[in-house]
Amino acid sequence: MTTGATVAREFVDVMGVRPLIGRGFVADEQRVGGAPAAIVSDPLWRARLGAAPLDGLTLRIDSALYPVVALRSG
């Protein structure tokens, strides 16, 4: 089982999390009805996503597809 959380766009900055690859969330991803996005951990990316290139990589959460925009450590 994989766990996740919905977070505000500022979460990445407040927690001091810097993506290893990719970017943080942008304003459009924060607004209601905005484009969804996901940041995944390095272990999840390697074990569950096959270390695939981020460009075009998506993650299915329930019935929605989330583009993976960044990879973070641990």
- pLDDT tens string 9-63: 888 788 887 889 999 888 888 888 888 899 999 999 999 999 999 999 999 988 8
DSSP string, 7-73: --TTHHHHTT---SEE----GGGTSTTPPP-EEEEHHHHHHHSTT--STT-EEEETTEEEEEEEEE-
Number of domains in the chain: 1
- For residue 40, the enclosing domain spans 11-72
Model pLDDT, residue 10: 85
Query: Do the domain assignments include residue 39?
Result: yes
* Local confidence band at 67 (pLDDT 50, 70, 90 cut-offs): very high
23-36 residue pLDDT tens:
988 888 888 888 88
Is 5 domain-assigned? no
